[in-house]
Structure 1
């Protein structure tokens, strides 16, 4: 047993969390729910069947009781007549004339209280006598008139003194329609010495029997049958003027009980009005479907949510640990949850942050310092090479400027002076950085020279906030974007153009904007240039086209540790605006370290 448990445990350990939750849902929720519901449904069905059978048994017993009461009332009435000596004497007498019979009939009705003894119910009492001297009427009829009737033949064939008989009576005159009849028939042979055959029939009202059956409001469908004929029912089939209906095969009785009374053998067939529990299930199908959805779909959705809560965050942790071999640990951007997994994610971020700081301090900073030392040495070598006797160039430019002043060629002198400023900026390698104010002075000198080239086609405006004047930036940064605006924006447009250079502070960032009203660019060109600016690298410097801008962007990215942001807006024929945003703290920290 322990070995089996160990194998199951090892197998479960190989499953991922998602599969484990599915197994948990299926075996611990779905299957027990199905089994429990099936057992409950089976118990309910069985209880319903027992209850329905009990109801049908009670209904059948009640039908037999009510029918027996009607039959016994008729039998009791027939017995009273059977025991009545006045009736015997009245029917056995031979009357000489009809007047004698009428006189005797009146005396009989007066002395015997026959009408009073018949009661007030709906039964019809008729006495037949084999005495041709009586006159038909007033409950008394000659027997010779009914010897050919169906009920009389049935009585003779039965061989009993008393019988109960359901039949369709067609032995009527043309003035009376055939109808269904229920008769209790008894021979009046009490004295045993009669020379006259006598029979009494108690006709029970068929319509009253139907009403009594309907008024009982049985829960089931009741059929009182004889020889495959439906005699009475609370579900139709009760038209008194029509012959008895035949039993239909589509009527399937759920319970049957036999009833015999005075030679009549009846079957009490009981059918459920509905098909039991299945019909109830069908009637309540919307509710059942809703409950099934509540008991299956809702737990499934909850399981999916729990699954996502577990697996999604565990996968994020797994992906984060996959990058442990890199020189920078990737922190989890969105830590959610206050459970154990959320705590683990939070602790991982703390660990990654501390390790990144450690790597930055011990490894990357030292590597950057080494790279910068090598770059500085190379730059100093280049500077030394480019500084071979630079004072000779400046002396020569100053001589030209002074000669132009003496000749009163002030415009030429101004151009030479601006050129000297630019050349001095180019050959001054004492530092890699320059104050923003100094950079804009160089920009102004450059635009002044371009003004001589473009004339009235070029106008410019420089605007710098006072608090930004001492900000240190890499040398020749802003002038690179200004030069690009002149060459690619102003040069190809014949109309007058402006160049605006703005430097301002917004919150904790320095913003540099270079705007021109030149020829502008289409969207594809803008996207291409922005991609090069944002992804500036040494490799891209080796490519042709706009090397100056890529150089400036690369230096800004290096000095701000990739925290600089570039944005370009341009419209063909309208102009171009380049925005550069740099965090002040990143700029200050990097410049301080480079120094």
Structure 2
């Protein structure tokens, strides 16, 4: 797929490539960055609006709480006023007595005059001897059957907040409703205190966003937008479900426009219910300024891109014109016309190509002359080459030449700083020299271990971290004479057959120990191992006397096994143990001080 894309790009004209590169390198990143910044700008504007709304609503909540707490304080005072209890419990005989009692109890009027947070106080009580004077009112059947009155009478003194109509002026107010118990005559009354609506309106008028105070029945008690007070939330075309939400921020649709609504619930002390403060702002109005900035930035970016495309088109025209001249002269040379000269001004790459083109044409002419002269010598060269080939086939590379060549390679790698390669070449040379020098005579265990170490280091260079090895050689065994090349084939077999097919590699361990005049040698690996059937096959192969195994990889093991038996006796052959997944162990013993059986 990638090759097809690269081939397609290579087939495009230079002008198309330049425009395409501009789109990929400039236009696409600018669009991505622009979309990202646009989204971040809008989100930042919304986040700031949400934070500001939360602060505003909290401020409104605190100020509203201060206003309605005045009504709560008055209700507390009146519910514990003994003079009010006596006034309510007395059965009056004449109107004069009633009027005199009212004059002797001016507290209600004083509260109204003293607290600007309230607009009216009235007490509904069942005492036929009292007169209605807008402060003390005899409740009729309609009032007594109303939900707010019945709720107050059954609330055991808890406060209720309702949006009620005041009989005196016919207006509706947020009202505190509370039952007052008179213990002397075991009677009760309902206290209603109107909260000053103008103070609530004054609090909301300072807010930027549309803010409302609603009661439990979703009546709009106060608002900083005209025409809202006295209506229901349902009249504002809010999203379904928003009207019943409590404290929090919610997405909504107001008048078919996306909006955010912040709701904060206010439940005063000792109250059955409370009120809610709603702040509504349109998302479109919040992001309006951000959208204007985005539009302006988009126009500037679009104009810049158009100008850039025009400039790139002009530059590409200059480049392609010069490249076409170069292409025409190359086509002439391709037809065999070597008498052309190209003249393109400039010191850029195209100008360099033109000068190199002229130099190439001159060189071709010189080469043609040389070819003509060389044709005359072709017969002599052919005969000389045949003779050289014959000598090369007849010659042999002697060991000294091979060692010298390896030493030269090692020194070359060392000089160039390739210490690892130089070390591997050195080990290979040492190993080959040891192998060539090996004969039938015995060598020390130390010399044999050097060959093993060289082999393992070379393999470790090949497998890197996939191969680890460990040489556990008892110092007392290093000078013991053994057959040459008796351990190295076992190590090679462990690396090739035990670890080479393992995905994660493994480790090889060579151990030599002196125990009771016997030297014990063990070569083990933690590779794939062999199952019982495979192990039986290998053991049978070791005992074959004639011919070779069908598998060439067993010749080394059989060779070592036979040499050990011929040299030290039949009981000194190889002992092999293995299990699948547990690796393979190859062991043999050599007597110390005993002669070879040869």
Q: What band does the TM-score fall into relative to the shorter chain?
A: 0.3 to 0.5
Q: TM-score, normalised by structure 2?
A: 0.47
In our comparison, the structure showing a higher alpha carbon Rg is: 1
Q: TM-score, normalised by structure 1?
A: 0.47
